[in-house]
Amino acid sequence: MDSLKNHDIPGRVTVFSGKGNLPAIRIQTETSEAEIYPHGAHVTAFQKKGEPPLLFMSGSSDFLPGKPIRGGVPVIFPWFGGREGHPAHGTARVTPWDLTNSMLLPNGSARLCFHLPCPEPANVEFIVTVGNSLTMEFVVTNTGNADFTFENCLHTYFQVGDIHTIEVAGLKGARYTDSLTTTQHVEEAESIRFTSETDRIYQDTTTTAEIRDPALGRSIFVRKSGSKSTVVWNPWIDKSKRMLDFGDDEWPHMVCVESGNVKENHITLAPGESSTLKVEIDSAPLGGSAG
């Protein structure tokens, strides 16, 4: 905790003891506030002033060493999904990251830089910029002597007013795998609506996704670069009841729209090569466009 406090910026960046007594960092700017846990380099909150939170957090989430946090923005690396004998979605989200720098930018935003201590032949950084929008950059550099292959994903949970009335636009024409049936499809709809458990991996898509939310009167924009995959997920009723770290009645108020490179869109870096997954989250009144 003491080493983290070296990165305090009075009135802007504050280190404190968070849930489960895990170290946490609060960021405050003129236009927004956010919260990050070095455990998993996990952004657990982002809220623009005068608006509801953009990120959803489960009230049943664990905040324990070695366990993932449920909600916010889990960092998925170096694999996506299950792997026998290993943590689901990789080790990055259950590893304490090092906070290496905090700074204020000329536009009033605050930027925090994290480094992942890991056995992979790679240097892994996560850079979070909090301002009028939330920008996250996941940077991997192959420091080894052979090719390095991995998957990455920012598994973002968004807060919505009612899953029954929202729609996710921007994915028409993209090919996807329905993870519930393992079948392949092409998205034909202008926007995705939700009537049951949904778990889709869209491949070879680089477009911005828009979450249109009539109940909260806003659109959330998920702009990305360095990403060829978008995952859309809501657990619905039955799966929510099977998840011990997720409330039985929370599913109507969240949707995951995840940006990354998974399955066939995995990344292979030659020695010395780098890749950057960048995601910007912003919002605007429904029918408008964010800045």
| Active-site residue list | 155, 258
Q: Helix, strand, coil: what percent of the chain each, to 5? A: 10, 45, 45
Q: By CB neighbour count within 10 A (0-12 exposed, 13-18 middle, 19+ buried), where does 146 fall?
A: exposed
Task: Please state, in angstroms and rounded to a whole number, the distance separating the CA atoms of residues 238 and 196.
Answer: 10
The per-type count for the chain, helices as H runs and strands as E runs, is 2, 23
**Cβ atoms of residues 256 and 231 within 8 Å:** yes
Burial 88-98, CB ≥16 within 10 A → b, else e: ebbbbbbbbbe
SS3 256: strand
**Cβ atoms of residues 209 and 222 within 8 Å:** yes
Of all helices (H) and strands (E), which one includes residue 33? strand 32-37
